[in-house]
Amino acid sequence: MYPDLLAPLLVVLALALVVLGLVAVRQPVSRRLAFRQIARRRTEAALVTGGSVLGTAIIIGALVVGDTLNFSVRQEAYRTLGPVDERVVAPPGPAGRAVAERLAALKGDPDIDGVLNARVTQASGVSRTGSRTVAEPRVLAWQVDFDEADRFGAPNGNSGLAGPNPKPGQVVLNAPLAHSLRVAAKDPVTLYLFGTPHTFRVDRVVPERGLAGVGLGGRLNRDAFLAPGTLDDAARTAGTEPRSVTFVSNRGGVEGGDALTAKATADIRAALGPVADRAAIDTPKHTVLRDAEKAGDSLGALFLMIGSFSIIAGALLLVNIFVMLGEERKAQMGMVRAIGMKRSRLVGSFTLEGTAYALLSALPGVGIGVAVGWAVAVVAAQIFSGWSVGGSSLRIAFAVTPTSILNGVAMGLLIAFAAILATSVRISRFNIIAAIRDLPSSTAGRPRHRLLVVCTVLSALCALAAVPAIAGSQAEATYLMPALALAFAAPALTRVMSRHAVTSLVAGAVLAWTLLAPVLRPRIFDTPSMSVYVIQGALAAFSAVVLVSDNQTVLLRPLRRLLERPSQAGLAARLAVAYPLAKRFRTGATLVMYTLIVFVLVLLTEISGILRAGVDGVVADATAGYSLRLDYNPQVAGDRLVDELRNGPSAADISTVAPLLNATGRATDPGRRGHQPLDIAAVGVPDGAITGITFRERLPGLADDPAVWRALAADPSYVVLDGFFGSTGGPAGDYYDPGDTLTVTDPRTGRGERKIIAGVLSNGMVFYPGTGASSTTYPVVMGERGMRELFGDQAQNASALVGTRPGTNPEALAARLQGEQLASSLVATPIESDIRHQFDSSTAFFRLMQGFLALGLGVGVTGLGVVMVRAVRERRRTIGILRALGFQARTVRRSFLWESAFVAAEGIVLGSLLGVLTTWLMYRNSAAFEGLDGGFPVEWTSIGVLAAATFAASLLATLGPARRAAAIRPARAVRVAE
């Protein structure tokens, strides 16, 4: 994943390693100090390495998820296309024969290594074994010559169809159709061809691969291959003709031929000449591979965004450990500086030590990251199966590429290097005398003049940059620029205010802006980028922690009576808060780790709760009284099916039938997110047939929802879309509004028309194809007149919406209608249950992300445990003195446990409050939540369980250090330094 990043990352990493190598060679004293500390401090080495391992593992895990999805989508090219690069679909009749004849000339084209003509019709199948009857309404019946198919694209691999042609009365099935009908070789099967049943015996079952899995745009194709002439004979008997399809294979392999798509498409158009407007030229291979890249990058970016909070926590863990190591070695560092060691060499020693820890973490990080990616892939496979239409879900197959491994290792090492270097520079700043005598460092004093000038200039520049960013709702800059302007203004403010007041003022202002920015500029979330959420979460967590850390004494006032009690419990409580208050940086870093992770976990929990609470409203908006969506074969059903539904055996259970016109087309993106045309399912709504389906936005002047539907009927230039049109996989935003325009094109004729968006649907689920079309095919709904004017005879009645009478079970009616209309290949989809099923899958996906983020929670708990381990070593003498003065061992143990409980509780409460508040502000102002009218639920139970589990894990992580602290012997602790 992210191959373009590999070269820059490796170059930067190589430069960093070269510099560190030069430091190690040219500064032998620094090198010996660094490696001696590693050998002496094995526990610390293990802790620091563990922090780096988790950071690297999270990055690699996110990239592996992207690789897996990218690979899984690419497998669609092998499974349903094989050597097929272009597909030319012509209508039945003389036009189809003319298209096939003209395309035969392409066999001599040097860029094309195969042209295969086939005939196809939509069919349905039935198998009967004993008393059992199994029906499958989604069948594609093909007539193709197996010898020609076997040679099609043969130089580049197996086409997927081989062996002899089936004999008359026989049929070859692919594996999905055989599985649906539960048949094997030699079993009888009945296929409804052009509405008439024909019985065949299964000659053999072929794997779903290449031509054996090919279709007309679906992800799962149930194919039946008939003997030569069989389909033509059946069509002739029915007084019609099958559809003509010509497959074209470009020179190169399954993926290699994609590079010649543009050239081959131009050659096809040239060969068709005057009949080009009678055929639809598709480039399915190019579409699948493009979708694979988008899907992989999108989901990988989503998990990388979620993992970013854990990565930040891991970096803070490294910072915290090195700050503690620096404080512990303060006297030693003061001595080496006193005898002449330069500050830069001290920085080099610490950086070399940290680099060794980071390098040791690389290999375990890769292993854990790949394991995490595999676990996510296994769970995702179950979730994606819930988003299927007729079993056509994306099939997840685990994959990992060397590029992602190298990217992850490089990112992990560079983040670790940066954290260690920055910390080394910070801890190398100290007063030599104070360090040798172990005196506390002074933080008083005004900022230096040069620092004051530079920060003031930067503050002014950030403030100036913030104005156009906020005015234009630029997502990342809207958050960052004002926050940076406030932070850089701090040195100037300390000239007129106390440091405490400045810190509280700046932190409070940044926190307020982070929370209120979505209220003032709600369109900042209208971006597919995930970075805005990382920035928002990080700013909220850091500013809140700084504000709390700087005002701990105020927050602890309600506990003053407990702290002042003259008892062992009071002493333990005073000790528990004394060190966190004295070591604010250390406490703050640990608090940020907890706050960040709990914040995102609560955010995901709340979003999941909003989805569950809003599902009833979504169902009502999407259905508007309709219970079923029907998809059927227009060539067989024609207009009679609507009459049969209204007057047939099931008419007593049906209250309304709204037939829809359907056609495939392409459209530009009204949100201007890309230049590539989008595949669309054009849907024509008969005048007055639909008035109840609601809109979240309407064109000014259209007073209510029925007015939008009337406008569609009256003006063919109007269309309506849903909020997911052209979605790139990022958060749903408000990328277009009523009044915006797009160009809709009939790919068969190349004719396009400019359309005006009259409304944005609250939910357009009922207009999405119900036959397993690609997930990147979006509906464009227009009036019947506009549909026929643009698409001509391609616009056919191929679907309908059905309303049921009170007391009718939609699932039972769907099964019954499919049986009654099996000859028409009717597929009935219960709308409500389908929507609820997809909402359940969405909730499961949020749980998957929460599980991935739990790694970050492990970083936070580990960080607290590390702090306590180091605290025991650091306070060894203090504990010995307290024990010598009469403190009981249990009081010492209790003080350590209460200290970790204090820090963990603050982080959990801060993260929970920020998570709930941020989600509420997003719910109220972000377009991503439009259409969810179930109210804002606070998931008290889930948040409580999360808080309790985190708190318990924190106490468990501290239990060991607390016991060791209580077991310290006073005499040895007072006399021995370590």
Instruction: Examine the pLDDT at 503 and tell me if it is beyond 80.
Output: yes
**Exposure letters 181-195 (e unless 16+ CB within 10 A, then b):** bebeeebebbbbbbb
Instruction: Examine the pLDDT at 978 and tell me if it is beyond 70.
Output: no
Instruction: Examine the pLDDT at 626 and tell me if it is beyond 80.
Output: yes
Helix (H, G, I), strand (E, B) or coil at 479: helix
User: Which of 587-601, 767-781, 796-810 comes out lowest in average pLDDT?
Assistant: 767-781
Looking at per-residue pLDDT, the higher value among 612 and 491 belongs to 491
- Confidence band (pLDDT; 50, 70, 90) for 74? confident
What pLDDT is attached to residue 144? 92
List the domain boundaries for the chain. 1-80+285-442, 86-282, 445-550, 557-623+831-978, 633-825
What pLDDT is attached to residue 111? 85
User: Which of 439-443, 604-608, 629-633, 749-753 comes out lowest in average pLDDT?
Assistant: 439-443
What pLDDT is attached to residue 198? 93
Instruction: Examine the pLDDT at 90 and tell me if it is beyond 60.
Output: yes
- Confidence band (pLDDT; 50, 70, 90) for 565? confident
The mean of the pLDDT values for the chain is 83
What pLDDT is attached to residue 432? 78
User: Which of 360-369, 416-425, 481-490 comes out lowest in average pLDDT?
Assistant: 416-425
C-alpha dist (Å) from residue 82 to 78, 206, 776: 4, 14, 20
Query: What digits encode the pLDDT tens for the residues 778-828?
Result: 899 999 999 999 998 888 888 899 988 898 898 899 888 888 888 888 888
Looking at per-residue pLDDT, the higher value among 419 and 716 belongs to 716
Mean pLDDT of 660-686: 87
Instruction: Examine the pLDDT at 960 and tell me if it is beyond 80.
Output: yes
Nearest to 541 by CA among 730, 308, 319, 324: 308
Distance CA 824, CA 659 (A): 15
Provide the whole-model pTM: 0.77
Instruction: Examine the pLDDT at 539 and tell me if it is beyond 80.
Output: yes
User: Which of 75-84, 486-495, 597-606, 768-777 comes out lowest in average pLDDT?
Assistant: 768-777
Instruction: Examine the pLDDT at 866 and tell me if it is beyond 80.
Output: no
User: Which of 130-144, 361-375, 425-439 comes out lowest in average pLDDT?
Assistant: 425-439
Angle at 486 between CA 485 and CA 490, to 5 degrees: 115
What pLDDT is attached to residue 202? 94
Distance CA 245, CA 87 (A): 7
- Find out whether 232 and 223 touch, Cβ atoms under 8 Å: no
Mean pLDDT of 958-973: 80
Mean pLDDT of 399-414: 87
Residue 644: what residue type?
E
- Find out whether 879 and 333 touch, Cβ atoms under 8 Å: no
Instruction: Examine the pLDDT at 558 and tell me if it is beyond 70.
Output: yes
Instruction: Examine the pLDDT at 445 and tell me if it is beyond 60.
Output: no
- Find out whether 218 and 136 touch, Cβ atoms under 8 Å: no
What pLDDT is attached to residue 783? 92
Instruction: Examine the pLDDT at 226 and tell me if it is beyond 90.
Output: yes
Helix (H, G, I), strand (E, B) or coil at 339: coil
Instruction: Examine the pLDDT at 31 and tell me if it is beyond 90.
Output: no
Angle at 112 between CA 110 and CA 118, to 5 degrees: 145
- Find out whether 61 and 210 touch, Cβ atoms under 8 Å: no
- Find out whether 816 and 183 touch, Cβ atoms under 8 Å: no
- Confidence band (pLDDT; 50, 70, 90) for 732? low
- Confidence band (pLDDT; 50, 70, 90) for 974? low
Among 38-47, 473-482, 960-969, the range with the most confident prediction by mean pLDDT is 473-482
What pLDDT is attached to residue 168? 92
What pLDDT is attached to residue 51? 66
- β-pair partners for 664: 681
Instruction: Examine the pLDDT at 444 and tell me if it is beyond 60.
Output: no
Looking at per-residue pLDDT, the higher value among 329 and 159 belongs to 159
User: Which of 334-348, 462-476, 640-654, 843-857 comes out lowest in average pLDDT?
Assistant: 843-857
- Confidence band (pLDDT; 50, 70, 90) for 777? confident
Distance CA 401, CA 97 (A): 45
Distance CA 650, CA 778 (A): 31
- Confidence band (pLDDT; 50, 70, 90) for 185? very high
- Confidence band (pLDDT; 50, 70, 90) for 378? confident
C-alpha dist (Å) from residue 118 to 141, 172, 243: 10, 15, 9
Instruction: Examine the pLDDT at 957 and tell me if it is beyond 80.
Output: yes
Residue 806: what residue type?
P
- Find out whether 687 and 713 touch, Cβ atoms under 8 Å: yes
Residue 432: what residue type?
I
Mean pLDDT of 751-756: 92
Q: What burial class does residue 42 get, using C-beta atoms within 10 Å of its C-beta: 0-12 exposed, 13-18 middle, 19+ buried?
A: exposed
Instruction: Examine the pLDDT at 170 and tell me if it is beyond 90.
Output: yes
C-alpha dist (Å) from residue 717 to 100, 533, 740, 790, 962: 35, 38, 12, 10, 74
Share of the chain above pLDDT 90, in %: 18
